[in-house]
A and B are shown apart, each in its own frame.
Chain A
Amino acid sequence: MGLFMILFTLIGGITLSAQSSINGTFSRKAGTIETTLLTFLTGTMFLTIFILFFGSGNVLALLDAPKWQLSAAFMGTMYLLLTVMAVPRIGVIATNIAGIAGQLIIGVIIDHFGWFNSLVIELDAKRAFALLFMIISLYFIYKGNKGSNKENS
């Protein structure tokens, strides 16, 4: 089950990357806020139809859900705003790499302490090495991008 989930999440990452290329192209003519709004609107339309036919949960239970669980919607917006603030000052690549570092560090911390009622997975030596390899990989991406930028200009 775990392996299947990892594959599924890899696909999620793939679609996310396709999304950022498509949205990047679209936003050059339409603007950043407009692009994001369109992304959310079309996503909502799609999911409305999907839920009506295949939804097995209960949307109305949203009203009874603890408010802290609903606050996650602001996290996505916060991500967008902070990214938009950082990109002009330090560049897209540096922003993405710093963002990924933040994502991994907090991800491992949440697992370690089991925050938000999540699975408790301790930060052991193996996990620490995994993080180290992720950082090495980010370093190579940073270097690789610098190299190809020079070739292009």
Chain B
Amino acid sequence: MRFISYLLALLAGAALSFEGAIYAELGKTIGQIETSFYNFFMGSIILGLLWLFFGKGKISYTLEAPKWSLLGGVLGVVYLTSIVVSVPFVGVGITMVAVIIGQLVMSMVIEHFGWLGSKKIKINKEKIFAVISMIISLILIN
């Protein structure tokens, strides 16, 4: 049954690429920031419904939480807008490779220093090899 879980995770990633390609097209007609807005607006409605029916957590924690931990939404806006802007110029493949590299390298840095409340995990030899291979990949794909 583990096989199915890997398949689900693969599908999840595929959904992100489809999203990027489709939003790029929508961005050409209604505008890029407007496309981001649509995504977050629609997402709020979908998640609002999910929360009403299946939410088990504590939404009131929002008011007690440290303010920096509320910045996720704004950061997500930068991500989505960069995809909508970039796909029509360089294609989905390069866009995804660049996003993934930014994401993986930054995660290593965040974990290395234990920033933003994450567990401290030192950068090791393997991770440096990983970054080198990623950069080679980006040069080749471009």
Contact = CB atoms under 8 A, between A and B. Distances in A.
B131 A9 contact: no
Contacts of B26: 65, 69-70, 72
Interface string A23-54: 11111011111111111111111111011001
Which bracket fits the contact residues of B?
Answer: 35 or more
B135 to A, nearest CB: 9
Interface in A114-152: 115-119, 121, 126-127, 129-134, 136-138, 140-141, 143-145, 147-148, 151-152
Contact of A65 (B11, B30, B88, B125): B30
A100 B137 CA distance: 14
By secondary structure, the B interface counts as helix
B127 A69 contact: no
A55 B140 CA distance: 36
A116 B41 contact: no
By secondary structure, the A interface counts as helix
Interface in B40-87: 40-44, 46-48, 50-51, 54-59, 61-62, 65, 68-83, 85-87
Interface string B95-111: 11111111111110010
A68 B18 CA distance: 11
Given A46-B73, A94-B6, A133-B137, A118 B90 contact: no
Given A47-B33, A116-B25, A140-B126, A34 B133 contact: no
A59 B96 contact: no
Given A51-B33, A103-B100, A143 B126 contact: yes
B119 to A, nearest CB: 8
